[in-house]
Structure 1
Amino acid sequence: MSKSIVVGGALAVLGLGGMAFGAWQIQESRQPQYADITGVEPLTRTVETPREVCEDVVVQRQAPTRDPHRVVGTAAGAIVGGLLGNQVGGGSGRKIATLAGAVGGGFAGREVQERIEAGQTVSTTERRCHTVTDSHQETVGYEVSWRYDGQVHTTRLDERPQGERVQMVDGQPQWGAPPSQG
C-alpha cells in the first residue's frame, strides 16, 4: 500500500470522527435543558367579609302604670290610716289622731303602690342585630424556587407549577411549557 493511501485513509477516518463528534455536540446542545424546582410556597391574603346577624331576644320591661300619680295607693292608705288613727284616744285627740293617721297612711299607701308597680314587668320580643366578620385565606400566587446551573433562583407565579422541574430556554424558565418526562 502506498503511504499516501494510508495517510489519506487515516485523515479520512479522523475527519469522519471529527464530523461525528461535532454532530454529537450540536445534537447535545439541542437537548432540552431543565431546572429542578426546589420549593413552592403558596402566597395568601386574608379576606374579611362582614355580615349582619340578627336574633329575637325576650326583654323584660317595667309594666306601664295605669295610675302615674298613685291616687289609688294614697287614697287606700289614707282610709286605712284614718281608721287606725280613729281607734286611738278620745274626743279632740281622736280627731287629731284620725287626721294624722290619714295623712301618714296616704304617704305610706303611695310608697307601697310605687314599690308594687316597680316590680311588675312585661315581656316583649325585640330583634337585635350586630355585624360579625368572617375571614378566610385566599391564595394569590406562589413563590417558586428552582436550581439551575448551580444557582438557586426565586420567582412569583400566579399558578402552581406542574412537576418537579421546568424547561429552560436560553437560560430562562418556561413556566407555561409542560416538562418532559426524560
Structure 2
Amino acid sequence: MNKSMMMGAMIGGAAVLSFGAVAGYQTLKGPDYAEVLSVTAAHKEVKTPEQQCEQVQVVQKAPVKDEHRVAGTVIGGLVGGLLGNQVGGGNGKKLATAAGVAGGAYAGNQMQKNLQNKDTVTRTEQRCKTVTRTREELVGYDVRYRLDGKEATVRMDLPPTSDRIPVKDGQLELSAVTPAKPQA
C-alpha cells in the first residue's frame, strides 16, 4: 500500500468515525420536542364564609305598666259595687253590694289581663347568619404530552400556544414555551 492510499484510508476512516459519532450523538440526545396531546384547565373549589343579614318584623307583647292589674281590679270593684247596691234593700243590699264589689273586682282584673295580653308592639330586628359561598378558581392547565413514546402530564400556569414543548437534555423546557393568553 502506498503512502497516498494510506493517507486516503485514514482520512476516509476519520470522516466515517466523525459522521458516525455525530449521528450516534443525535440518537443518544433524544428528541428536541415533546408532543402536546391535550390541555385541560385545572380548577380548585374555594369556599368563603359570608355574613347574610335580613330585616325581620318581630311582634312582641307590649311592656305592662300595671303588672298586678290594680286599675282593672279597683275599677271593676267600683262598678260591681255600684251595680250590687242597686239590687235589694236592707241587709240584702249590703250583701249584693259586697258580692258586686268582689265579682266586679275579679271581672275587672280578668278584663285588664286580656287587654294586656292582646297589647303588642311590632319592631324590626336584624337577623344574621353565616353562609358559605363556593366558587371555582383556575389554578393552571394540565398539559398531557408524549416524549420518547411515554405519556405524562405537567401543570402549567398558562396553556401552550403550539402542539410542541421544547426538550433539552431529556427534560421539558417549560420556560421556553410561549403561553397563550388565559381564557376567561
Q: TM-score, normalised by structure 2?
A: 0.71
8 Å Cα contact 1:77/1:107 also seen in 2: yes
TM value normalised by structure 1: 0.71
Partner residue, 1:5: none
Q: Aligned Cα RMSD in Å?
A: 3.3
In the other structure, the counterpart of 1:131 is 130
Structure 2 residue runs without a partner (length 5+): 179-184
The equivalences for 1:9-158 within 5 A come to 22=19, 25=23, 33-155=32-154, 157-158=155-156
Distance in 2 between the 1:31 and 1:61 partners?
A: 83
Secondary structure in 2 matching 1:40? strand
Give the match's secondary structure for 1:176: helix
Give % identity. 42
Cα 1:33–1:171 change in 2 (3 A) is same
Could you tell me which residue of structure 2 aligns to residue 159 of structure 1?
Answer: 157
CA shift, 1:107, in A, is: 0.9
Which residues of structure 1 form unaligned runs of 5+? Answer: 1-7
Per-residue CA deviation, residues 87-144 of structure 1 (Å, 9 max, x unaligned), is 4333212211221121011111111101111111223233333323322222233332
What secondary structure sits across from 1:131 in the alignment?
strand
Structure 2 Cα separation of the partners of residues 65 and 100 of structure 1: 29
1:130 alignment partner AA: K
The CA deviation string for residues 6-47 of structure 1, in whole angstroms up to 9 with x for no partner, is xx9xx99xx6xx86xx49948976896222212233333222
Secondary structure of 1:84's aligned partner: helix
Residue type at the aligned position of 1:159? D
- Following superposition, which runs of at least 4 residues in structure 1 exceed 4 angstroms of deviation? 23-32
CA deviation string 1:44-71 (max 9, x = no partner): 3222222333444333222222222211
Separation (CA, whole Å) in 2 of partners of 1:139 and 1:133: 19
